[in-house]
């Protein structure tokens, strides 16, 4: 499944590149207001940071919510106290788009993450041109030289990479490229199995100064509490927010869990 998602994302990017060549995209990316410093925005604070996700559907959960107006949802997230907003831009299984990202960017002041299966520079330029401050890099799908190259490219554009691991080995590979924001995803993207204990197992291995992000498997405040007790600086939440009826209130509740 992870391979299919990657192949699909790259195919879609290739199609867009026929309309908008790299050189032109680069100009658009460099014209943007500089990216917001996401490391600062997510560093340890009195309350846990919530990264709130705009997600319509997923391959493991199917359709979650229609979300006709992503900007309105993101505004509610920000009102509830979200420290950053993650926008799924993958089109085939998550039903997202770069238009969603642009709409969210225009609506909020907090850092915005492009959640996509990223394997090449063009997609990172697209993220910056759409106003993203952060992009996702999934260790499982990238060889080490590519991971290193894409992370550097991200930083050259002034953005931050959220580097995602779901095994101890991937966690180490993220540290080997000097991850500054390192996520442990409870969901194994190859099998869709949930391992909410994995973050706690790896938490003590974060070096000082690396932002600790726990991803997925939060449905209730006690799940946020458990991640926080294990040491999380930030928790990434999708499903619980898009399926609940008051996202701003849910975020407030999660932050105070
Ligand atoms: O909906 P959840 O279980 O709260 O999960 C959010 C987020 O962690 C999840 O969407 C995610 C984490 N890493 C990813 C990589 C690709 C796509 C999606 C994801």
CA distance 117 to 96: 12
Q: What does the pLDDT read at residue 189?
A: 86
Q: What does the pLDDT read at residue 217?
A: 95
| pLDDT one-digit tens code per residue, 113-153 | 999 999 999 999 999 999 999 999 999 999 999 999 999 99
Q: Average model confidence (pLDDT) for the chain?
A: 97
Residue (of 122, 136, 131, 105) closest to 16 by Cα position:
122
Residue 124's φ and ψ, nearest 5 degrees, are: -75, -40
- Is pTM beyond 0.95 here? yes
- Please indicate whether residue 55 is annotated as part of the active site: yes
DSSP count for the chain of H helices, then E strands: 12, 10
* Active-site entry in 93, 115, 151, 212: 115
- Please indicate whether residue 115 is annotated as part of the active site: yes
- Please indicate whether residue 215 is annotated as part of the active site: yes
Count of Cβ atoms closer than 10 Å to residue 5 Cβ = 19
- Please indicate whether residue 256 is annotated as part of the active site: no
Check if 116 has its Cβ closer than 6 Å to any atom of ligand 1.
no
CA of 181 relative to ligand 1 center, distance in Å? 16
Check if 250 has its Cβ closer than 6 Å to any atom of ligand 1.
no
Average pLDDT over residues 188-210: 94
Check if 239 has its Cβ closer than 6 Å to any atom of ligand 1.
yes
Measured by CA distance, the residue closest to atom 5 of ligand 1 is 216
Which domains, and CATH codes, for the chain? 2-255 (3.20.20.70)
- Please indicate whether residue 170 is annotated as part of the active site: no
CA distance 181 to 169: 17
| Distance of alpha carbon 189 from the chain centroid | 14
For residue 215, which atom of ligand 1 is closest to its CA? 8
- State ipTM: 0.97
């Amino acid at each position: 499944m992870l391979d299919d998602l990657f192949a699909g994302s790259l195919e879609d990017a290739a199609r867009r590149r026929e309309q908008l060549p790299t050189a032109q995209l680069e100009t658009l990316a460099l014209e943007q207001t500089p990216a917001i410093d996401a490391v600062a925005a997510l560093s340890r604070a009195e309350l846990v940071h919530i990264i709130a996700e705009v997600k319509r559907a997923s391959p493991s959960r199917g359709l979650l919510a229609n979300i006709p107006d992503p900007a309105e949802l993101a505004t509610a997230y920000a009102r509830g106290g979200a420290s950053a907003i993650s926008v799924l831009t993958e089109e085939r299984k998550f039903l997202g788009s770069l238009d969603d990202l642009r709409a969210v960017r225009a609506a909020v002041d907090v850092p915005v993450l492009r959640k996509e299966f990223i394997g090449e520079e063009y997609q990172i330029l697209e993220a910056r041109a759409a106003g993203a401050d952060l992009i996702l890099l999934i260790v499982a799908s990238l060889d080490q030289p590519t991971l290193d190259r894409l992370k550097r490219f991200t930083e050259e554009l002034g953005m931050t990479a959220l580097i995602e691991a779901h095994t101890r080995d991937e966690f180490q590979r993220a540290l080997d490229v000097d991850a500054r924001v390192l996520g442990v995803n409870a969901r194994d993207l190859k099998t869709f199995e949930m391992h909410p204990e994995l973050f706690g197992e790896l938490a003590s291995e974060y070096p000082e100064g690396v932002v600790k992000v726990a991803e997925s498997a939060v449905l209730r405040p006690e799940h946020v509490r458990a991640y926080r007790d294990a040491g999380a600086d930030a928790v990434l939440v999708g499903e619980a927010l898009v399926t609940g009826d008051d996202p701003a209130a849910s975020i407030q509740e999660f932050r105070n869990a």
